[in-house]
Structure 1
Amino acid sequence: MTDDDTQTGWTGGRDAFGDFAPGMVHYTDAVLFDEVWERNGLSKRDRSLVTIAALTALGKTDQLRFHLGFARSNGVTDRELEEALLHLAFYTGWPNGMSGTTVLRDVIEDDGDDESEQHR
């Protein structure tokens, strides 16, 4: 990234790790979210769905929790997420789909009923 490129100011890595693991923080904030997620080839909504598919296939529920919430903020509805996880269950294995659906339920419940309804 050059000085002329726009940066989002993403601080998720810094927020998660503080001063611990500065390399991980740098690559998460400056490369992954300031560069990769900002590329023009896919919308953020589509990137979210691709990321959810990959994390579900790998059974990475800790990261999936964040990305399900992020997908909601990128315009993916709860019903679409629910349907994507059902579809993924047949391609990634039923346990992965069930685990992803459990995480989605928790994300929606943690968000509160009023806000989650707007995503349906």
Structure 2
Amino acid sequence: MSDPQPSSAQRLIGGFAPKLVELTDGVLFGDVWKRDGLSARDRSLVTITALVAGGNVEQLPFHLKLGVENGLTRDEIVETITHLVFYSGWPKAMSAITTAKETLASG
């Protein structure tokens, strides 16, 4: 029987930070993302918003793709980032929209 595919965290940092992988896979994606209080779609929208507001564009490609898998449309993502221009700042939103364009163009 073959092993399941390694998670994104395992591929990125598995041999370097195994405890962080364990927390990411087990707690964050294994528990928090599966709670009943919000849909996966809403969790993706909230996560994308937090990443844009914090200027954390390096995490955006993964979460933009996950957001689409969870039911967000490209137009909703663009509108969210456009809305955030006035709340998180122009440079953060411009960086995020550039990342979104590059990430979502292929999908």
Which residue number corresponds to residue 48 of structure 1? 44
Deviation >3 Å, runs of 4+: none
What is the Cα deviation at residue 92 of structure 1? 0.4
What secondary structure does 2:37 align onto?
Answer: coil
Q: Distance in 1 between matches of 2:11 and 2:36?
A: 26
Query: Which structure 2 residues correspond to residues 83-94 of structure 1 after superposition, within 5 A?
Result: 83-94=79-90
Q: Distance in 2 between matches of 1:10 and 1:77?
A: 27
The answer to whether the aligner puts 1:14 opposite 2:15 as a matched pair is: no
Tell me, which stretches of 5 or more residues in structure 1 are unaligned? 1-8, 112-120
What secondary structure does 2:106 align onto?
Answer: helix
The count of residues paired between Structure 1 and Structure 2 equals: 103
Tell me, which stretches of 5 or more residues in structure 2 are unaligned? none
Q: Distance in 2 between matches of 1:84 and 1:56?
A: 10
After TM superposition, the score normalised by the length of structure 1 is 0.81
Which residue number corresponds to residue 33 of structure 1? 29
- Pick 1 or 2: higher relative contact order, CA cutoff 8 A, min separation 6: 2
The answer to whether the aligner puts 1:97 opposite 2:93 as a matched pair is: yes
